[in-house]
Amino acid sequence: MTITKRIKNDVVIFDVDGEIKRSDITDTTLHDLVRSVLEEGHRFILLNFEKVGFIDSFGVGEILASYISTHNLGGKLKLARISKKLFLIFQVTMLTKVLDIFEDEDAALQSFRD
């Protein structure tokens, strides 16, 4: 898994590429990156999952921990461009009731303004 960071307006976008699973743990996790930008003062975070094909329970935990960290600081964390397969995982785990999930990046970015 590789994660690249970019900023559009005042939204930090993490483009995630690959599988989010325990065996892919490197020195820095998705949650570590989210906490890092929160410490820098950013409060709007978008996770772009266009190139994510698989996520296991560890990955779901990373997303939930990132959401909680962001929410606790008054920020917003949203997801965009997830596959139908991943959306089903979020439905089964009931995270669709907690997370804002968008089909495209532009709609997600606009939602930070609403």
Question: What structural domains and CATH numbers belong to the chain?
Answer: 2-111 (3.30.750.24)
Per-residue pLDDT of the chain (114 residues; tens, 9 = 90+): 899 999 999 999 999 998 888 765 566 789 999 999 999 999 999 999 999 999 999 999 999 999 999 999 999 999 999 999 999 999 998 999 999 999 999 999 999 998
Answer whether 84's CB lies under 8 Å from 50's CB: no
pLDDT of 7: 97
How far is the C-alpha of 89 from the C-alpha of 91, rounded, in Å?
A: 5
Place of tokens 């461009």: 81
| Among candidate residues 56, 57, 58, 36, the one with its CA nearest the CA of residue 45 | 36
- Can you tell me the distance from the alpha carbon of 7 to that of 14, in angstroms, rounded to the nearest whole number? 9
Contact 99, 87 (CB under 8 A): no
pLDDT at residue 28, rounded to an integer: 79
Question: Cα 71 to the chain's mean position, in Å?
Answer: 13
pLDDT of residue 114: 82
Please list the residues that pair with 47 across neighbouring strands.
Answer: 14, 79
Distance (Å, rounded) from C-alpha 7 to C-alpha 5? 7
φ, ψ for residue 112, nearest 5 deg:
-70, -20
Q: What is the pLDDT of residue 19?
A: 87
